[in-house]
Amino acid sequence: MLIVALAGCAYEPTPLTRCPGDCVPADSAPGDPAWYGLGGSALYPFGPQQSAGAATTTSACYEYDGPHRDAPGAGSGGVSNTNGCSEVPAIVATPEGDLVVTWHDASTGNWEAYGRILDAGGDTWREMDGSATELGISEYGDTDANGTTGFPDAAVTGAGKVLVAWHDDVGASFFRIFLRRFDPLRNSWEALGSSADVGTGGVSANARPSHRPRVAEGPGDIVVAWEDRADRLRREVFLKRFDAGVWQEVAGSATPGTFVAAGEGGECARVAIDARGRIMVVWRRTGNTRILGKRTTEGRDGWEGVAGSAAVGISGGPGTVTCPALAIDPNDDAPVVAWVLSHQAQHELRVARPGPGGWALLGAGPVARGFEPMCAPSVVIAGGAPVVAWQQEVAGRQEIYLRRLHGTSWIGVGGSDAGGGVSRSDTDSYEPRAVVAGDRFCLVWTEPAGEHLQVTMRCHDGWW
């Protein structure tokens, strides 16, 4: 698979030198609680972290469609702690506060979906029924074969069961979407209907390439959204939900030219379900010019825009946009969306939610602004307010930064928006994902350990 560099992060960077907006000095004071690892999640015991520039990683912020390299035989560490390249992490928390991290991994010489769990209060990352060895999570119910697995995403049910979806070309010449669920009481993985059957094509079950799934769980509901190749040149966003033992579309959500307007393309699907059971999907229109979105109607018999999200769009303004991030505000079930807008060599990380006259930007200004390329935003709601993490190049190195909304100001937490940010590494750091776990806030990302990437995590005690 090829790396695809997108225009939203393709500019020559300049160092981040200050915190824009009204930063509260006490929030980044030396006495503020530190970011820390759990169970060795920020340590690399089998070899030193690689110095910046020594690894064959990209030197610019980017989004991609495939693994950026495979260098087997190198040292390991962090959460993944394997002997193969580990990247594209996702993180979720169970109702009990356990942390689950998934990623795709090349330890076997082939890409597989892997994962580990850290029990609340525990200090050891453990497997979930073989989830980080051999074929890992990406096993199938009707064949012992395996293909090239990528982009696993995770969600957790209210009962604490872990859902993992991924794409794989097993049994076909193109990728399809599959899913399995981990039951902690039985300590075993299981399929939902045909979700892990190669013969029927898993969740996607069509004759077109399907990529980069996202899975969400809501009140008694499980949905998966993904990018589907409607034809050789255009991607669309598809979605199915698990209902009465069958994966089925919702009001045309898996029919070409229906969910995404005919003639328009869509990619980077993000999905969430609010407390009322409404499914919200946001995506980037092909051409990288706009973030769009739709939500199911109350009866789930159709889709509608939210404050113009399906027509005018969410992002607004000229320029190109990165893939979005999506969260649901539990205070009022409102969707919250983050993205990076790039225009005339300037980059702005923005967060918005629907208002009376359309989508309104949160805060007195953007989360971050500058000439430095930034991408891969991740947004969650913590303490009743949005918190955004992102990847940014500063002084020639990719770092992970974070700010939270405090009143109308975007401020850092424990130095998360200064210097080396949360990652503060001697090497490049990529693809952050965030989660709230009880009274902790945690971030995962990937960075080189030895000669390839491993998954790293740091947490901060709750500030709310």
Burial 354-368 (b: 16+ CB within 10 A, else e): beeeebeebbebbbb
Residue at 326 is within a domain: yes
For the segment 348-386, what is each residue's pLDDT rounded down to a tens digit? 999 999 999 999 999 999 999 999 889 999 999 999 999
Q: Which of 65-79, 189-203, 444-458 has the lowest mean pLDDT?
A: 65-79
CATH number at residue 51: 2.120.10.10
Residue 287 domain boundaries:
7-461
> Within a 10 A sphere around the Cβ of 395, how many other Cβ atoms?
14
- Sequence-distant (≥ 6) Cβ neighbours of residue 205 within 8 angstroms: 176, 194, 247
Residue at 2 is within a domain: no
Separation of CA 225 from chain center: 13
Residue 406, pLDDT > 80, answer: yes
What is the pLDDT confidence band of residue 232, given thresholds at 50, 70 and 90? low
What is the pLDDT confidence band of residue 70, given thresholds at 50, 70 and 90? very low
Amino acid letter, 361: L
298 three-state secondary structure: coil
d(CA 323, CA 325) in angstroms, rounded, equals 7
Residue at 413 is within a domain: yes
What one-character DSSP code corresponds to residue 49? B
Residue at 67 is within a domain: yes
Work out the mean pLDDT of the chain and round it to a whole number.
Answer: 84
Please say whether the beta carbons of 443 and 402 come within 8 A: yes
Residue at 1 is within a domain: no
What one-character DSSP code corresponds to residue 184? T
What is the pLDDT confidence band of residue 56, given thresholds at 50, 70 and 90? very low
382 three-state secondary structure: strand
Residue 409 token pair: 């100001």
Q: What is the pLDDT of residue 61?
A: 43
* HSE toward the beta carbon, residue 116, CA cutoff 13 A: 26
What one-character DSSP code corresponds to residue 258? T
d(CA 119, CA 104) in angstroms, rounded, equals 21
Residue at 131 is within a domain: yes
Radius of gyration of the chain measured on its C-alpha atoms: 20
Please count the structural domains in the chain: 1
DSSP line for 405-440: EETTEEE-STTTTSTTTTT--SS--EEEEEEEETTE
Q: What is the pTM of this model?
A: 0.88
27 three-state secondary structure: helix
Q: Which of 71-80, 178-187, 430-439 has the lowest mean pLDDT?
A: 71-80
Residue 52, pLDDT > 80, answer: no
